[in-house]
Amino acid sequence: MGRLGGIARHERSRSAIETLQSISVTRASGVAGDKSGVIRPGGKGRRQISLIEAESWDAALADLPPGADTALPWHVRRANLLVQGIRLPREAGKVIAIGESLRIVITCECDPCSRMDEIQPGLKDALLPDWRGGVLGRVLTDGDIAIGDEVRIEE
């Protein structure tokens, strides 16, 4: 069992990241107010919500080239949720439960993009091994979540 360590959203591509203490997450809109939450007509919702492990983020920062900024906050990764103390499954179809009712099915790995190197040279490569960039998923059941909530793997 792990804990929810952070919540973030951004309204538009390349817009500022907003960190939050709590939020509603729904099948209809994902993380409320986030650009990726609404599934387009005919879409599969593979990228509706993103999660990253605090431990993977720390490992990526430790692997940055000498002289790099290793104090970057997790949300520059542009993930929605930061989990701590739990290893996220590295395969599609597994279900992550957060809080009392939120359920997310993993759809795929969240591959780091070139934007990561814009933030910090070398960050993209540091996030590539072992799914360090996190996972993407689709919301199965709605839930209100808050930092500190329990995170579990159900399937």
| Structural domains of the chain, with CATH | 2-153 (2.40.33.20)
Residue-averaged pLDDT of the chain: 93
pTM score of the predicted model: 0.93
User: Is the pLDDT at 150 greater than 80, yes or no?
Assistant: yes
Q: What is the rounded distance in angstroms from the CA atom of residue 138 to the CA atom of residue 136?
A: 7
8 Å CB contact between 139 and 30: yes
Structure-derived torsion over alpha carbons of residues 128, 134, 136, 142, reported in degrees to the nearest 10: 180
The tokens for 3 are 């804990």
List pLDDT tens digits, range 86-110: 999 999 999 999 999 999 999 999 9
